[in-house]
Amino acid sequence: MRPALFLDRDGIVNVDHGYVHRADQVEFISGIFDLVRLANQTGFVVVIVTNQAGIARGLYTEADFLALTSWMNSRFAEAGARIDAVYHCPHHPTEGLGALKQACECRKPAPGMFTRAMRDWSLSPPLSVLVGDKGSDLQAGLSAGVRNLFMLHHPDRETLPLALWPNTIAVSTLLDPRLTRLLTAGSSIEAGMPPDRSSDTSRVFPPSEPRREAS
């Protein structure tokens, strides 16, 4: 079984301007091409997993999403990087139109997109890595068995579920050495062994900020 680098799209691959669905709206996050190239070189399958509620809300079509995905994948290829697979959820439990209004198993924080990718690509959950920018991204990955979780910019620190704390490292850049070291280790990482975090100084709850205890 192979390791995967799971990436959220909006907020990780591109700046989240809100319901991005056209090429002229895409602003790639600094470092994303380098990160994906490194993952390609070290044997990780690169998988994007993205909620696309704009489809459910009727703001754009699935064809629009697929056309943009093809365009984005071409930009990666031009940069010498490869996106191996893109999984998307077109549903929303309350705001979806018609058949797209449903509580599905693919919309994060449910793990459906992750488990489907694992089946399709014979991926190893404990060897895999996830980079997201929301608690729902990390919860979905954790529920699918991914234990190496990275949160970019950690905007959800006040609402991040307690179960995610031990497994999550907050980073301010996609090329943080702790993330790149883990990818460089590649498939030599022993299954089930977490990364060495003895030198971490920027977890979701850094030591300088006391954790809130439940009342």
Tell me the domains of the chain and their CATH numbers.
8-29+48-107 (3.40.50.1000), 123-206 (no CATH)
Q: What amino acid is encoded at 181 in this protein?
A: R
> With a threshold of 0.75, does the pTM exceed it?
yes
Q: What is the pLDDT of residue 205?
A: 41
Over the stretch 57-81, which tens digit does the pLDDT of each residue have? 999 999 999 999 999 999 999 999 9
Over the stretch 133-143, which tens digit does the pLDDT of each residue have? 999 999 999 99
User: CB neighbours of 127 closer than 8 A, spacing ≥ 6?
Assistant: 1, 2, 3, 4, 187, 189, 191
Catalytic residue from among 10, 133, 137, 156:
10
Over the stretch 84-132, which tens digit does the pLDDT of each residue have? 999 999 999 899 999 999 999 999 999 999 999 999 999 999 999 999 9
24 catalytic per annotation: no
Catalytic residue from among 8, 84, 133, 137:
8
34 catalytic per annotation: no
